[in-house]
Structure 1
Amino acid sequence: MSKSEIRLRCWITLEQQKFFGPGRVELLNWVEKEGSVSKAAKKMGMSYKKAWDMIHDLNTRGQQPFVTLRKGGRKGGGAEITTSGKQFLNKYAQLLQKLQTVIEEESEILRLL
């Protein structure tokens, strides 16, 4: 007997283009943990350029920047999630939890399979 489940991936779009979703959540979480875009990219197995492009997109298309970047120097560069970026991550997590609750409440449909 196979196991059935309802799965959902939630994306937020701006001007009919993907803006925020699971990949960017993961990237921002790694940036927060590592303090670096390059280290976050490495943890995710993606190129630095792709990670930087994602951060640049968040920072330029969002109402406020998600990440602040510090250029390298004697102490090296770094990255930090902004307060508004953290707030957005929290709101997105709340949205996902609400959606998961709906999925759990409606999971009786699986019995009809």
Structure 2
Amino acid sequence: MKTKKELRARCWIDIDGKKFFGPGRAQLLMMIDKNGSLSKAAKEMGMSYRKAWSMVEDMNQRGQQPYVELHKGGAQGGGAELTETGKKVLSTFLSMNEKITATIQQHTDEMLALI
């Protein structure tokens, strides 16, 4: 029987040994940027609003600057938008992950042939 080999890597950023930012939070920021709404972003990701809100609060509190600005509801309804810091963190993280993926793809055949 032929075995399936795969070389994978995922990148997370820890602060004081606790996960802070990774693929899930990057996706949440992308969905907030796309939808202009935390609730719509959470719904699109299949995540509860409470969990999404908790993730945003954690990023805003533990990051050097807030990543998301939340607007309370009113006649126009609420909303959410990425701050300049949030946009920079997201774009840098995505760029870094593209480079990591490209490096892994370069070495996959050689590495897996040895396994």
Instruction: Tell me which residue corresponds to 2:88.
Output: 87
Q: Report 1 or 2 for greater relative contact order, CA contacts < 8 Å, sequence distance ≥ 6.
A: 2
Instruction: Tell me which residue corresponds to 2:73.
Output: 72
Give unpaired runs (5+ residues) of structure 2: none
Offset at residue 68 of structure 1 (A): 0.4
Instruction: Tell me which residue corresponds to 2:106.
Output: 105
Give unpaired runs (5+ residues) of structure 1: none
Question: Would you identify which runs of 4 or more consecutive aligned residues in structure 1 move more than 6 Å?
Answer: none
Offset at residue 39 of structure 1 (A): 0.7
Secondary structure, counterpart of 1:68 in structure 2: strand
- What letter corresponds to residue 8 of structure 2 in structure 1? R
Number of residue equivalences: 113
RMSD value over aligned CA atoms?
A: 1.1
Q: Which moved more, 1:99-108 or 1:40-49?
A: 99-108
- What letter corresponds to residue 110 of structure 1 in structure 2? L
Secondary structure, counterpart of 2:20 in structure 1: strand
Relative to the length of structure 1, the TM-score reads 0.94
Relative to the length of structure 2, the TM-score reads 0.92
Secondary structure, counterpart of 2:8 in structure 1: coil
Q: Find the aligned partners of 2:45 and 2:102 in 1 and give their Cα distance.
A: 28
Q: Find the aligned partners of 2:105 and 2:48 in 1 and give their Cα distance.
A: 36
Secondary structure, counterpart of 2:91 in structure 1: helix
- What letter corresponds to residue 58 of structure 1 in structure 2? M
Secondary structure, counterpart of 2:69 in structure 1: strand
Alignment of 1:1-113 (within 5 A): 1-107=2-108, 108-113=110-115
Identity %: 52
Secondary structure, counterpart of 1:6 in structure 2: coil
Offset at residue 45 of structure 1 (A): 0.8
- What letter corresponds to residue 74 of structure 2 in structure 1? G
Offset at residue 102 of structure 1 (A): 2.1
